[in-house]
Amino acid sequence: MRPETLHTQAPPFELDTFLEGVWKENPVFVQVLGMCPVLAVSNSVVNSLSMGGATVFVLVMSSAVVSLVRHWVPNQVRIATYIVIIASFVTVTAYLLEAISLDIYNALGAYLPLIVVNCIILGRAEAYASKHPVLPSIVSATGTGLGFILAIFTMGAVREVLGSGSFLGVSLFGPHYEPMTVFILPGGGFFVLGALLLAISWFKERNKRGQA
Amino acid sequence: MSDHMHMHASPSAGPPSSSVAMIRTLVVVSAVSGLLIVLVFQWTLPAIKANHARALQAAVFEVLPGVSRVETFRLQDDGTLAHLAGEDERALKVYAGYTDAGKLVGVAIPAQGQGYQDVIKVIYGYDPAKQAIVGMKVLESKETPGLGDKIGKDPEFLGNFDTLDVALAGDGLRNAIQVVKHGAKQQPWQIDAITGATISSKAIGRLLGESTRAWLPIVQRNRTALEAKETR
């Protein structure tokens, strides 16, 4: 009866579970999920990494707990249960961040509590953690999380270098460089995301042709 | 009798989906979540309070040059300022700064007003002897990055507040604070706007005008209370 018996034959987890989330099923570049934080707080590298870190912490912790309680959660109330678990970890993360650095906490602003509705997290809980043991769930969540950090960091790096002429707050081109402000404005986020998605699908297409 | 009841109960008593199991799951999960949140809240509270106090302290030091000690005062219903030793979240507060030698430098006053995008929160230093604003720092703003947010960064704009005349006459300012086009500043009560950020510059002028009209008479009336905290 228990779904676990189906998996006892398989190894505890595979490298694929991990790598899938990072690249092949990248939550941002391939699944195009979690767009709200990716567009809104990727205007600098520091903001991107803070948002990435906070999201991954919530993702991994809630995946672990969802997997841990999966046998006791009746199907009818599973979404409600997952949301309570995710919301609790988001609240905890917000307090921790406010205690660690007020600057980062203020920079993330309203987007910190909005991690609750990041569909990457509920997606992992519903599609993976609720059906798999704890260890593979953590591995899968970490892989997906790294994929999210990779995406939001790339966005942040491109936008900060072009839009502010700096990287991690360190000026790159000297004081006389006039940065292209549009890249740190919301519109610039859409440009960069579009360009990255285009570049990645072009790259994949080329690889496919190369193999054929 | 008992057999009969048993037969009726059995079809709906499948363990995974009974009503009791649903409620039990939600209650237990919510209770554990609540406990976790309260524990973390209590654990991080001292650090969070210290962070906020440090940020405010740093802002007061920035807008009142030469300050080494800060005392908090709250506005009472009768319009007098009273020293506040503990904390009071709801009180209207100002922060008096004193030099190393214990002399009153001035008062840091928080102010806020509508900006281009959202409310702008600032804190400014007022020197009651000079009758001038001697510093201004933006605490919170969502002004357009690269344009309006220069109100918090542009050194030339912030230079306006090194000495901005806000002398009192009667119950108001002798000369109202004016925001003028960039480079047109001629009077000590005028603010040179930032090119390309006129709306945000004007918002600062307006919120300082409103705040000074309300607060400066109070500060001047209560100078003895503020000077009572000087150390000799």
The whole-angstrom separation of Cα B187 and Cα A127 is 67
Residue A60 is assigned to a structural domain of this protein:
yes
Query: 10 Å Cβ neighbour count for B47?
Result: 14
Residue B21 is assigned to a structural domain of this protein:
no
Tens-place pLDDT, residues B130-157: 999 999 999 888 787 778 888 988 889 9
pLDDT score recorded for residue A110? 79
The whole-angstrom separation of Cα B50 and Cα B56 is 10
Arithmetic mean of pLDDT, B21-31: 94
Residue from B175, B64, B182, B170 nearest B126 by CA: B64
Residue A56 is assigned to a structural domain of this protein:
yes
| CB distance B215 to B79 below 8 Å | no
Residues of the domain holding B200? 64-227
Question: Does B201 have pLDDT greater than 50?
Answer: yes
Instruction: Give the total number of structural domains in chain A.
Output: 1
Which two structure tokens, joined as six digits, stand for A126? 């519903």
Mutation target vs B (from A47, A67, A76, A162; most B CBs, 10 A cutoff): A76
Longest dimension (CA), chain B: 100
Query: 10 Å Cβ neighbour count for B181?
Result: 11
Residues of the domain holding A121? 25-157
Residue B162 is assigned to a structural domain of this protein:
yes
pLDDT band (50, 70, 90) for residue B8 = very low
Question: Does B10 have pLDDT greater than 80?
Answer: no
Least confident of A62-66, A115-119, B166-170, B189-193: B166-170
Residue from B115, B219, B92, B229 nearest B166 by CA: B219
pLDDT band (50, 70, 90) for residue A212 = low
pLDDT band (50, 70, 90) for residue B7 = very low
The whole-angstrom separation of Cα B76 and Cα B95 is 14
pLDDT band (50, 70, 90) for residue A84 = very high
- B11 vs A177 pLDDT, higher one: A177
Is A179 part of the contact surface with chain B (CB cutoff 8 Å)? yes
pLDDT score recorded for residue A134? 94
pLDDT score recorded for residue A12? 54
- B38 vs A170 pLDDT, higher one: B38
Residue B168 is assigned to a structural domain of this protein:
yes
Question: Does B124 have pLDDT greater than 90?
Answer: yes
Write down the ipTM of this complex. Answer: 0.82
Residue A129 is assigned to a structural domain of this protein:
yes
Q: Write the DSSP symbol of residue A70.
A: T
A154 to chain B nearest CA, in Å? 20
Q: Which residue is listed with tokens 């002798």?
A: B174
Q: Which of residues 66 through 95 in chain A touch B, CB cutoff 8 A?
A: 69, 72-77, 80-81, 84-85, 87-88, 91-92, 95
Residue B27 is assigned to a structural domain of this protein:
no
Share of chain B above pLDDT 70, in %: 92
Residue A188 is assigned to a structural domain of this protein:
no
- Which residue is closest to A180 within chain B, CA to CA? B146
Residue B40 is assigned to a structural domain of this protein:
no
Question: Does B97 have pLDDT greater than 90?
Answer: yes
| CB distance B67 to B209 below 8 Å | no
Interface touch A69/B40, C-beta < 8 Å:
no
Q: What's the mean pLDDT when you consider all of chain A?
A: 88
- 3-class DSSP state of B142: coil
- Residues in A closer than 8 angstroms to B140, CB to CB, are 106
Residue A9 is assigned to a structural domain of this protein:
no
Residue from A111, A93, A138 nearest A34 by CA: A111
Interface touch A73/B25, C-beta < 8 Å:
yes
B168 to chain A nearest CA, in Å? 36
pLDDT score recorded for residue B114? 94
Interface touch B29/A84, C-beta < 8 Å:
yes
Q: State phi, psi for B12 to the nearest 5 degrees.
A: -95, 0
Q: How many residue pairs from chains A and B have C-beta atoms closer than 8 A?
A: 67
Tens-place pLDDT, residues A113-131: 889 999 999 999 999 999 9
Residue B9 is assigned to a structural domain of this protein:
no
Q: State phi, psi for B92 to the nearest 5 degrees.
A: -80, 125
Q: Write the DSSP symbol of residue B190.
A: E
Q: Name residues whose C-beta falls within 8 Å of residue B146's C-beta, 6 or more positions apart in sequence.
A: A163, A179, A181, A184, A185
- 3-class DSSP state of A13: coil
Interface touch A95/B41, C-beta < 8 Å:
yes
Question: Does A4 have pLDDT greater than 80?
Answer: no
Q: Which contacts qualify for A85-88: CB closer than 8 Å, 24 or more apart?
A: A85/A125, A85/B29, A85/B33, A86/A58, A86/A62, A86/A116, A86/A121, A86/A122, A86/A125, A87/A116, A87/B33, A88/B33, A88/B36, A88/B37
Arithmetic mean of pLDDT, A196-209: 89
Is A43 part of the contact surface with chain B (CB cutoff 8 Å)? yes
Q: What's the mean pLDDT when you consider all of chain B?
A: 87
A200 to chain B nearest CA, in Å? 29
Selecting from B21, B26, B55 the residue whose C-beta is nearest the C-beta of A102 gives B55
Residue ranges of E strands in chain B = 69-75, 81-83, 93-98, 104-114, 119-127, 132-140, 164-165, 168-169, 172-173, 178-180, 190-192
Arithmetic mean of pLDDT, B34-41: 97
The whole-angstrom separation of Cα A56 and Cα A146 is 8
Interface touch A87/B33, C-beta < 8 Å:
yes
pLDDT score recorded for residue B11? 42
- A7 vs A16 pLDDT, higher one: A16
Tens-place pLDDT, residues A131-188: 999 999 999 999 999 999 999 999 999 999 998 888 888 888 877 788 888 898 888 9
Which two structure tokens, joined as six digits, stand for A209? 């042709």
The whole-angstrom separation of Cα A177 and Cα B197 is 20
Rg for chain B, CA atoms, rounded = 27
pTM, entire model: 0.78
Interface touch A88/B146, C-beta < 8 Å:
no
> Using CA atoms in the order B13, B17, B18, B24, what is the torsion angle rounded to 10 degrees?
140
Residue B98 is assigned to a structural domain of this protein:
yes
Residue B23 is assigned to a structural domain of this protein:
no
Instruction: Give the total number of structural domains in chain B.
Output: 1
What is the secondary structure of A49-60 as a DSSP string? HHHHHHHHHHHH
Strand partners, B153: none
- 3-class DSSP state of B112: strand
